[in-house]
Chains A and B, each alone.
Chain A
């Protein structure tokens, strides 16, 4: 298996623009997690899905952030409008029901100017 796939790997955008991050979980995994990592705040869980359904989005910073999982093999995290403080590395991870090991994707490094 190719593992968790994320795109793009790097994104540079200007403040106010819409940003869409994409994730393909490991085939067969039914949990998907979105994390944000910064030096100041560490690794923060933003939202997670089980069987494509959002279970807990309490970590989503504000209404500018939204996430969807239209099917078992694809999820998006959208920021609209983006702000400089959104600059971070965003990781997607997936895990298999009955096992708790999370497998992380390579991350998307986002820079908002």
Chain B
């Protein structure tokens, strides 16, 4: 089955700096890679996703890149703000099924 690894497990950055979180997956059949943000005590919420036919996708300060050959994808947050502090999860699935989440990255943006 699919296995998703995520690094780092914790990340602290200064406000205004960039943050990068990396994930690797094992199943070459996976074709959908979402990123979820979970604030303390809240539900996970989708922030961006990418499909296997695209190498990069950007939405304002957030971007995701995908390297299918190497089976890894990354989340990039630029100009970080305190409200970006949360736990971020990557996930991989094959056609919307067999969802496997990474273990999460706790991001702290320091003022």
A12 at the interface (CB under 8 A from B): no
- Grouping DSSP codes into helix (H, G, I), strand (E, B) and loop, the A interface class, with mixed when no group exceeds half, is strand
Q: Which one of B13-21, B57-65, B70-78, B99-107 contacts A?
A: B99-107
In the bound assembly, the distance between CA atoms of A48 and B49 in angstroms comes to: 20
Q: Are A91 and B44 in contact (CB under 8 A)?
A: yes
Q: Are B104 and A43 in contact (CB under 8 A)?
A: yes
Contact A100/B43 with A42-B104, A55-B97, A95-B96 known, Cβ cut-off 8 Å: no
Give the residues from 32 to 89 in chain B that come closer than 8 angstroms, CB to CB, to chain A: 32, 34, 42-46, 49, 89
A60 at the interface (CB under 8 A from B): no
Contact A101/B104 with A33-B99, A43-B89, A56-B97 known, Cβ cut-off 8 Å: no
Q: Are B43 and A107 in contact (CB under 8 A)?
A: yes
Name the contact of A102 in the complex, choosing from B98, B99, B100, B103 (C-beta under 8 A): B99
A62 at the interface (CB under 8 A from B): no
For residue A55, which residues in chain B have a CB less than 8 angstroms away from its CB?
Answer: 97
- Grouping DSSP codes into helix (H, G, I), strand (E, B) and loop, the B interface class, with mixed when no group exceeds half, is strand
Chain B CB count within 10 A is highest, among A31, A43, A45, for A43
For residue B32, which residues in chain A have a CB less than 8 angstroms away from its CB?
Answer: 100
Q: Are B103 and A31 in contact (CB under 8 A)?
A: no
Contact with B along A28-71 (1 / 0, CB 8 A): 00010100000000111100101000011000000000000000
B93 at the interface (CB under 8 A from A): yes
Which residue of B is nearest A3, CB measured? Answer: B43
Q: Are A104 and B43 in contact (CB under 8 A)?
A: yes
In the bound assembly, the distance between CA atoms of A50 and B100 in angstroms comes to: 17
Chain A CB count within 10 A is highest, among B34, B42, B43, B89, for B43
| B binding-site residues for A, Cβ under 8 Å | 32, 34, 42-46, 49, 89, 93, 95-104
| A binding-site residues for B, Cβ under 8 Å | 31, 33, 42-45, 48, 50, 55-56, 91, 95, 97, 99-107
